[in-house]
Amino acid sequence: MTLPEVRLAILAEASFGPLEAKTAVGMLRYRPARVAAVIDSTQAGRTAAQCAGVGGDIPVVASVDEAAALGAGALLIGIAPAGGRLPDSWRPVLRRSLERGWDVISGLHAFLSDDPELSALARAHQAQLHDLRRPPRDLRVALGRASRVDALIVLTVGTDCNSGKMTAALEVQRELVARGLRAAFVATGQTGIVIEGRGTAIDAVPADFVAGAAEALVLEAARDADVVIVEGQGSLFHPGFSGVTLGLLHGACPEALILCHHWGRERLRISSPDVPVPPPVPPLGVVREAYERAASWVRPAPVVAAAVNTRACGEPEARAACSATESELGVPTTDPVRFGAATLADAVAGRRTARGPALPAR
């Protein structure tokens, strides 16, 4: 997958916030230099930081043309509607982008390149439609091969969807690299793919091949790395996505898990009129036990650390949240965005050292 080199306008119409706009927030946190503007007409005039807590002074604008004036040359869809279809209200923005000759990058389940109107428009203006969730052609069934690589494989897992699994994985990988270790990040969702420039959106792969897609990503990453940090997906407790979570767990064959939790979230993040009161998020000990149990069905893997998203708290409460989690689970815990990922990296590096030869220096 080759994404355009130009700076991006990120579409987050009517939804630009820290939780609703995962892809926008991920790009703003990890690739801010690639972002020219965010499009959300309901918040035009504010900065990215004011709306979502990341992205500093990157401006929020109301239209494609305003983003172009700020140097944008392609559009990234930065929000993920449940079900993954293209809302009709976005079409004018996509049309305008393509008319300008911009590439459009999308993580929707509904592929833009299968849309007759948009693909005709792209052809007419020599623009490309990049569907991040399009599965690779070469799909295989997983066979547990990832359990045989020399690299230490670590998977982030969560109490819920949207609990900080991608962020924790990126933060710990960057910290390990900063320490001179050969650590790779494996992107398994559309945001991670845009940030990393490669990966597979495993939630869009035909179900028989979910684990196989994860296995292929891990085998490839392990060729040049001693530690492979895999971005987790979903949650074992989510009625819609647990199959993706387990397929990833059994395909990636991690040897260690990092448990991610959004502090203060009491109920699963299911927004549907059909579920007026979503199920509660289980206690952390129950969640940990579930992941360790499920891992053991193919390859045992303990939870070696925890990452707590304390975005909604003040600092004293954030420190208390980490301490409480650490006491409850008995593993090193931090908020890697707020306090840095050293604690998590220590736990992973220690695990790597404990299991065999020391990590080679660069």
Binding site for its own copies (CB under 8 A): 82-84, 109, 135, 139-145, 202-208, 210-212, 236-248, 250-251, 253, 270, 272, 274-275, 279, 282, 290, 293-294, 297-298
Name the minimum Å distance from CB 125 to its own copies: 28
Please give the Cα distance from 321 to 124 (Å, whole number): 54
Q: Which is nearer to its own copies, 49 or 143 (CB)?
A: 143
Name the minimum Å distance from CB 239 to its own copies: 4
Name the minimum Å distance from CB 257 to its own copies: 16
Q: Which is nearer to its own copies, 33 or 277 (CB)?
A: 277
Q: Which is nearer to its own copies, 6 or 294 (CB)?
A: 294
DSSP strands (E only) in 213-311: 227-230, 256-262, 303-309
Q: Which is nearer to its own copies, 92 or 240 (CB)?
A: 240
Please check whether residue 348 is in contact with residue 168, taking contact to mean a CB–CB distance below 8 angstroms: no
Please check whether residue 102 is in contact with residue 124, taking contact to mean a CB–CB distance below 8 angstroms: no
Burial of 74 (0-12, 13-18, 19+ CB in 10 A): buried
How many Cα neighbours within 13 Å face the side chain of 155? 32
Q: Which is nearer to its own copies, 74 or 204 (CB)?
A: 204
How many C-beta atoms surround the C-beta of residue 48 within 10 A?
27
Name the minimum Å distance from CB 212 to its own copies: 6
Name the minimum Å distance from CB 80 to its own copies: 11
| Tokens 């004293």 found at | 316
Of the candidates 249, 352, 332, the one whose C-alpha atom is nearest the C-alpha of residue 292 is 249
Name the minimum Å distance from CB 116 to its own copies: 15
Q: Which is nearer to its own copies, 85 or 123 (CB)?
A: 85
Q: How many residues does the chain have?
A: 362
Please give the Cα distance from 139 to 122 (Å, whole number): 28
